[in-house]
Structure 1
């Protein structure tokens, strides 16, 4: 397993700060302002947002030829020699409801008081005049323009900090399930195996084995039984099987040595096939593959064939083929009537 280099994680934040203000410019006697000529305007009183002075310009006849047939409205930066990073939202106030609606929104830009960028928006057609005059924005010859100005301040960057390190312990679910296995008082099923009995939990067994699921919750389920009999299995094998169902490990047989351990694994492989426990079946195959010997390969091959263990079966065949006396061993196997459907061998 490659060595993992510890990674130090740090973090900082950038917060965009801003200040916002709004100004309503009310114009009475709109019709009296009309006809003064293109480029003529009325300007609101100066108002302050973000330590800068601003004003609204209203052109009832438009500013230039390209704005003919429109009214024109601008926000203007008044502060001398100022450069301000800001955005604006120019609105018309509905004279019937008092609510305002956006007509033109300018995204953040740099207003430079020394040139034409002191104005926003950068176009002359604010609102079609005929539509405006027919709307509720003009009532009793009066109108109101609202301008919301947002001035961007210098962004605030936080100090760099190390991310808190939390040591998360390894998963302990198997430990808890192991304790559940030992907690006999919460069990809801009893198994009778030979002269011994074992208490367990139906839901855990059903979760781990489709065969147990069918027995406890499917059409095969038995009701009213005092104990579920388990035939053709030794008590110590069933105990190890239950332990694996709860903990996904075979540590319970770590104290077995040599032939006893191998024999237990063989019985467990049979049990795994019986209860459709594919992971346990693979664990058993792995152990038996690693412990093949001349003395056990024939019986292991027979076990693999009976319980459809292709990996173990192939390992046995390869082991036999690698032996100097492989032909004699094959003859011995054939005399015992072993038949391999998907391999052809010459004795």
Structure 2
């Protein structure tokens, strides 16, 4: 009896396109919060898309007016269109920046769907090198992922899995195999590997391979960090991922509290990416109850973007008068006079405009 042997290969085939838009900031000053400007249309694949710019924020959150979000709207008929969106700032040489870009995955279910995110705050952008002659440029890259089935593949094709290096490094941290340094933190001991710590943190490199006494120590005692925070710090160093709040403690530590503590640790060990991740986490939760303490934390630990967002929130919202009457604000005025002066300048500037 004759037999047949056939194969097929399923994959997500990408279709990509890029569009740049130049924004003149003074022309959008009068736009209200929640209002968008359609500032460019382009075609990728079988679909037409529009870039939407919100000069005063989307209005979704109380602090959103301090952000300048960009969205992409589907103008064509479509259903379950999977898309990677990437927005990046373009420098004065016409090069899309790798340091100031972000990307996210979205599914567009129908015509008129809008998806996007905030790339930067208005206060930060105004001081950046990306603004020249009252304008800046943003690049939008759009990648559509569509199912593709190819028939008749021979048996010589090889499937390559995605990278799982972070999992291996996390397992190495968990097992302690090959560890050549340990840290004692309030009664708990954490084994680690000098070369990995030094490759990720200039502070650890100086401590473990420099002239400091720690370079010859087999165990280093740390007094001013909680064990669960130090464990989360190590997990980030090994995996480059923000630790889930219910994974590294077993005690249900709130994500916001974890971010507050990790900002301090990230500043101490010069882990800029971790600090920015924590800034982003806390920026989404700014409110009248926590804005003063968040402002002080940001100012103390070099979180410039988070600091500006807090100052903008206090100076441009209606909560200033109620905050002035609180003990927290009174303590803030005494303990942080320089930041208080910055706040007064912003309040004065807002009243003039």
Which residue matches 2:233? Answer: 241
Give 1:315's match in structure 2, choosing from 309, 312, 317. Answer: 309
* Structure 2: gaps (5+ residues): 1-82, 85-143, 349-353
Which residue matches 2:223? Answer: 231
Distance in 2 separating the partners of 1:164 and 1:6: 22
Q: Against the structure 1 CA distance between its residues 175 and 182, is the aligned structure 2 distance closer, same or farther, given a 3 Å change threshold? A: same
Summarize deviations over 1:204-257 as a string: whole Å, max 9, x none.
111111100111112325354341011211111101111111111234424689
Distance in 1 separating the partners of 2:227 and 2:218: 18
* Structure 1: gaps (5+ residues): 11-159
For the Cα contact (< 8 Å) 2:245–2:252, is it kept in 1?
Answer: no
Distance in 1 separating the partners of 2:178 and 2:252: 36
Q: TM-score, normalised by structure 2?
A: 0.50
1:263 aligns with 2:257: yes
Which residue matches 2:104? Answer: none
Give 2:204's match in structure 1, choosing from 200, 203, 212. Answer: 212
CA shift for structure 1 position 317: 1.7
Distance in 2 separating the partners of 1:253 and 1:245: 16
Q: Against the structure 1 CA distance between its residues 252 and 325, is the aligned structure 2 distance closer, same or farther, given a 3 Å change threshold? A: closer
Please give the secondary structure, in 2, of the residue aligned with 1:5. strand
Distance in 1 separating the partners of 2:214 and 2:202: 15
For the Cα contact (< 8 Å) 2:170–2:235, is it kept in 1?
Answer: yes
Q: TM-score, normalised by structure 1?
A: 0.51
Q: In the TM superposition, what are the counterparts of 1:129-144 in structure 2 within 5 Å? A: none
CA shift for structure 1 position 164: 6.4
Which residue matches 2:290? Answer: 296
Cα RMSD of the aligned pairs, angstroms, is 3.0
CA shift for structure 1 position 322: 4.2
Q: In the TM superposition, what are the counterparts of 1:95-106 in structure 2 within 5 Å? A: none
Which residue matches 2:93? Answer: none
For the Cα contact (< 8 Å) 1:189–1:227, is it kept in 2?
Answer: yes
Which residue matches 2:332? Answer: 336
Q: In the TM superposition, what are the counterparts of 1:146-185 in structure 2 within 5 Å? A: 166-185=158-177
Distance in 2 separating the partners of 1:268 and 1:282: 10
1:285 aligns with 2:279: yes
For the Cα contact (< 8 Å) 1:189–1:202, is it kept in 2?
Answer: yes
Which residue matches 1:188? Answer: 180
For the Cα contact (< 8 Å) 1:272–1:278, is it kept in 2?
Answer: yes
Which residue matches 2:146? Answer: 5
Q: Against the structure 1 CA distance between its residues 345 and 330, is the aligned structure 2 distance closer, same or farther, given a 3 Å change threshold? A: farther
Residues matched between the structures, number: 198
For the Cα contact (< 8 Å) 1:9–1:162, is it kept in 2?
Answer: no
> Which has the greater radius of gyration?
1
Distance in 2 separating the partners of 1:330 and 1:205: 44
Summarize deviations over 1:4-51 as a string: whole Å, max 9, x none.
1356789xxxxxxxxxxxxxxxxxxxxxxxxxxxxxxxxxxxxxxxxx
